[in-house]
């Protein structure tokens, strides 16, 4: 075909660049026609090519035939005419085929309806009788839908068909439709309450106290298992803090040793005369050095200081 451009941009034929320029001129309105074929022309060309292809003999398994002058090969159309009468045609209604090709999405049933999001918008699928889905609240269900027609979908639970659900947002709404929705909701609540009452009448359900008492009566007696105890290794900082805390708790003023005040002798009146030994004379006996040697050492240090 003249429009053939190859599978690599670098190996395109030179004529293709010329045709591309002519096409750009046609887009800009500078030419009356484009060198490229239209989609309809290409489709017609492919149909003619396939028709010619099916009329040509093909060598392959099951294509052999006998001719007056020897053996030959069947074309695809001849093989089709010979074999197709033995193949039954299976038919199905268009609606059934549409359901077979419907997409499925796994969702959770909540409040007696299935909520799905398509294109960022939320849709709610409900049955004509809401009681059917109310009994399946919390269960996983598959919604079979047609992307081109979201008004209706098929509900499957555990690979079993439940019913057809209609989209509340896409149906023909009117004043009566909203009223019917509210009536269905109230009827569903009444039916559920009646079902619960009937179930309680038929199957007595014990209250919480009775149930716990029955469980306590059959509960086995368990004895605590003996386990060896090992002293844990406590960090040194925590042990010191604990010891200080215990010492602080045990402290009391009654057990404390009384403090005896030390009375100092009155300072001598030296009349402003400085003396090296005035400090030693003023020290009490309790604070005076215990030995003569220490007194001599102290006097020697005072004498050396006065000499300097």
Tell me the per-residue pLDDT of 55-98, one tens digit each, with 9 for 90 and over: 888 888 888 888 888 888 889 988 888 888 888 888 888 878 87
Q: Which of 135, 167, 185 is the last residue of a domain?
A: 185
Show the CA angle centred on residue 248, arms to residues 242 and 250, nearest 5°: 105
For residues 123 and 49, membership in a common domain is answered with no
Is 49 in the same domain as 100? Answer: no
Q: Of the ranges 193-197, 224-228, 271-275, which one carries the lowest mean pLDDT score?
A: 271-275
More confident residue, 119 or 131: 119
The pLDDT confidence band at residue 130, using thresholds 50, 70 and 90, is low
| Mean predicted confidence (pLDDT) in 102-120 | 88
CA distance linking residue 3 with residue 20, whole number of Å: 10
Would the pTM count as exceeding 0.75?
Answer: no
Is there a domain that residue 123 lies in?
Answer: yes
Mean pLDDT over 108-116 rounds to 87
Tell me the pairing of strands 121-126 and 140-146.
Answer: unpaired
Looking at the structure, do residues 44 and 122 belong to the same domain, yes or no?
Answer: no
Average pLDDT on 264-273 reads 68
pLDDT score at 108? 92
Residue % of the chain over a pLDDT of 70:
82
What pLDDT is stored for residue 175 in this prediction?
Answer: 56
Is 273 domain-assigned? no
Three-state SS for the chain is CCCCCCCCHHHCCHHHHHHHHHHHHHHCCCCCCCCCCCHHHHHHHHHHHHHHHHCCCCCCCCCEEEECCEEEECCHHHHHHHHHHHCCCCCCCHHHHHHHCCEEEEEEEECCEEEEEECCEEEEEECCCCHHHHCCCCCEEEEEEECCEEEEEEEEECCEEEEEEEECCCCCCCHHHHHHHHHHHHHHHHHHHHHHHHHHHHCCCCCHHHHHHHHHHCCCCCCCCCCCCCCCCCCHHHHHHHHHHHHHHHCCCCCCCCCCCCCCCCCCCCCCCCCCCHHHHHCCCCCCCCCHHHHHHHHHHHHHHHHC
> Would 132 be classed as within a structural domain?
yes
Residues 99 and 179 in one domain: yes
Kindly state whether residue 140 falls inside one of the protein's structural domains. yes
Residue 82 is encoded by which pair of tokens?
Answer: 């010979």
Whether 284 maps to a domain, the answer reads no
* Over residues 10-19, mean pLDDT: 78
Q: For residues 267 and 247, which has the higher predicted lDDT (pLDDT)?
A: 247
Question: 135-149, 178-192, 268-282: which range is least confident on average?
Answer: 268-282
Q: Span 214-243, mean pLDDT?
A: 87
Q: What pLDDT is recorded for position 47?
A: 92
Task: Give mean pLDDT, residues 218-239.
Answer: 85
Please give the pLDDT value at position 241. 92
Mean pLDDT of the 208-235 span? 86
pLDDT of residue 15 exceeding 60, the answer is: yes
Do 105 and 179 share a structural domain?
A: yes
**Which CATH number characterizes residue 143's domain?**
2.40.50
Q: Check: CB of residue 188 under 8 Å from CB of residue 180.
A: no
Is pLDDT at 219 greater than 80 in this prediction? yes
Q: Which domain holds residue 22?
A: 18-54
Whether residue 105 is contained in a domain is answered as: yes
Give whole-number Cα distances, 241 to 141, 249, 288, in Å: 63, 12, 40
């Amino acid at each position: 075909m003249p429009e053939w451009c190859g599978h690599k941009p670098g190996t395109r034929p030179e004529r293709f660049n010329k045709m591309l320029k002519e096409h750009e001129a046609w887009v800009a309105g500078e030419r009356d026609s484009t060198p490229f074929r239209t989609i309809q022309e290409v489709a017609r060309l492919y149909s003619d090519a396939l028709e010619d292809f099916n009329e040509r003999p093909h060598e392959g398994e099951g294509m052999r035939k006998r001719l007056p002058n020897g053996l030959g090969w069947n074309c695809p159309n001849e093989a089709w005419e010979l074999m197709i009468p033995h193949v039954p045609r299976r038919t199905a209604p268009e609606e059934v085929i549409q359901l077979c090709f419907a997409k499925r999405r796994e969702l959770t049933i909540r409040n007696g309806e299935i909520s799905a999001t398509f294109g960022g918008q939320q849709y709610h699928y409900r049955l004509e009788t809401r009681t059917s889905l109310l009994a399946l609240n919390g269960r996983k269900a598959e919604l079979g839908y047609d992307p081109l027609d979201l008004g209706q979908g098929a509900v499957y639970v555990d690979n079993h068909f439940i019913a057809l659900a209609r989209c509340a947002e896409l149906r023909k709404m009117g004043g009566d439709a909203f009223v019917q929705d509210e009536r269905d909701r109230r009827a569903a609540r009444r039916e559920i309450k009646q079902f619960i009452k009937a179930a309680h009448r038929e199957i007595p359900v014990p209250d919480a106290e009775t149930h716990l008492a029955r469980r306590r009566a059959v509960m086995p007696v368990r004895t605590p298992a003996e386990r060896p105890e090992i002293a844990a290794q406590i960090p040194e900082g925590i042990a010191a803090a604990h010891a200080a805390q215990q010492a602080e708790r045990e402290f009391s003023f009654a057990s404390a040793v009384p403090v005896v005040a030390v009375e100092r002798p009155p300072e001598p009146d030296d009349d402003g005369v400085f003396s090296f030994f005035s400090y030693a004379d003023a020290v009490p006996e309790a604070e005076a050095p215990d030995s003569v040697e220490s007194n001599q050492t102290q006097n020697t240090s005072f004498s050396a200081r006065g000499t300097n």
